[in-house]
Amino acid sequence: MNVLAFAGRRLAGAAALLVLLSAAVFAATAVLPGDAVSAVAGVDASTGQRARVRAELGLDRPAAERYASWAAGALRGDLGRGFVGERPVTEVLATRLPNSLLLAGLTLAVTAPLALLLGLWTGLRAGGTADRLVSTGAQVLAAVPEFVVAALLTAVLAVWLGVLPRVSVVPLGGTPLDAPHALVLPVLTLGPVGLAVATRLLRVCVADAAAAPYCEAARLSGVRGVRLAVRHLLPNAAGPAVQALTLTTGALVGSSVVVENVFDYPGIGRELQLAVAARDVPMVQGIATALVAVMLAVLLLGDLCARLLGRREANGR
């Protein structure tokens, strides 16, 4: 019951945040110089033509009014149509968002176990040489821009060794799963970012847990190694660790915009970038809101998991 109340409260909070953030995105598009008229009417359209297109797109109405009508539609599940190409925003989301989630999911699946191991290893040796080495390495890795990682990997794996395609060319009408080799470079590029962030966060959780009195007690009573990690450390670090991983997801979403563009991966990040350049407000608004919703859902899920794990931990003690 307690957990349900907690979930309800957090859900309400997330919903409120979603509304706030969607309004912020709308405001941001409103203050960008220029509008979609150039993309729709053509840059050399006459003043009259531009005015007509602006009216057709509804851009002559006040921003608050436009946001209200967009929000009303969004509540009914109608995110409107893009100005450029007039395709329904939900349709674009339906075709592109799964590709991005697949990319992020695969990256997490690869990095999470590795980060867990590295986090445990360094956390238990906090302050030692190994810890300092790995931590510094992770910090460097987190600081290297994705496009540099992408360029290095491409140079080695695609150009020099020639074992992977340089571009994620997905078969027409197919999904990235139809060309699994096309996923390798994007995942390898995204991986280090996620790995670095997650390792550093997990290390702190483990180090904290290892310094806690019950862990000390276990150690004093002779529990060591894997047994100590599995029986005592992990259950107690699990809650914070889940939250650490949810935060990693946030970093991945940001990086995937870059990675999708570098490898021409057909994800939602590439669409967002295109939509911003064209000032395609409904598209920007829809995609950004969907991404925010995904992020909030992940964070919410992470909080819930952490809470459940925390309860078990509290009950078990």
List residues binding other proteins (CB under 8 A).
Answer: 32-35, 37-47, 49-50, 53, 82, 84-87, 91-92, 95-96, 154, 158, 162, 165-167, 169-170, 172-173, 261-264, 266, 270-271, 273-280, 283
What are the angstrom distances between the C-alpha of 201 and each of 105, 118, 120, 149, 273? 19, 11, 11, 22, 30
Of the two residues 67 and 265, which places its CB atom closer to other proteins in the complex? 265
Provide, rounded to whole angstroms, the least separation between the CB of residue 81 and other proteins: 9
Of the two residues 92 and 190, which places its CB atom closer to other proteins in the complex? 92
Evaluate whether 182 touches 170 at the Cβ level (below 8 Å). yes
Using left for φ > 0, alpha for ψ between -120 and 50, and beta otherwise, residue 145 falls in beta
- Name the 3-class secondary structure at 111: helix
Of the two residues 36 and 206, which places its CB atom closer to other proteins in the complex? 36
Of the two residues 236 and 285, which places its CB atom closer to other proteins in the complex? 285
Of the two residues 181 and 312, which places its CB atom closer to other proteins in the complex? 181
Provide, rounded to whole angstroms, the least separation between the CB of residue 271 and other proteins: 5
- Separation between Cα atoms, residue 169 and residue 186, nearest integer Å: 12
- Separation between Cα atoms, residue 107 and residue 190, nearest integer Å: 7
Provide, rounded to whole angstroms, the least separation between the CB of residue 109 and other proteins: 25
Place of tokens 């009259």: 48
Joined tokens for residue 122:
């360094």
Return the amino acid letter for 210. A
- Name the 3-class secondary structure at 294: helix
Provide, rounded to whole angstroms, the least separation between the CB of residue 234 and other proteins: 42
- Separation between Cα atoms, residue 307 and residue 234, nearest integer Å: 15
> What is the number of other CB atoms lying within 10 angstroms of the CB of residue 243?
19
- Separation between Cα atoms, residue 232 and residue 62, nearest integer Å: 59
Of the two residues 57 and 210, which places its CB atom closer to other proteins in the complex? 57
Of the two residues 60 and 86, which places its CB atom closer to other proteins in the complex? 86
Provide, rounded to whole angstroms, the least separation between the CB of residue 52 and other proteins: 10
Of the two residues 40 and 141, which places its CB atom closer to other proteins in the complex? 40
Place of tokens 């925390």: 310
Provide, rounded to whole angstroms, the least separation between the CB of residue 29 and other proteins: 12
Provide, rounded to whole angstroms, the least separation between the CB of residue 33 and other proteins: 5
Provide, rounded to whole angstroms, the least separation between the CB of residue 116 and other proteins: 34
- Separation between Cα atoms, residue 69 and residue 80, nearest integer Å: 10
Give 174-198 as a DSSP string: --GGGSTHHHHHHHHHHHHHHHHHH
Evaluate whether 60 touches 68 at the Cβ level (below 8 Å). no
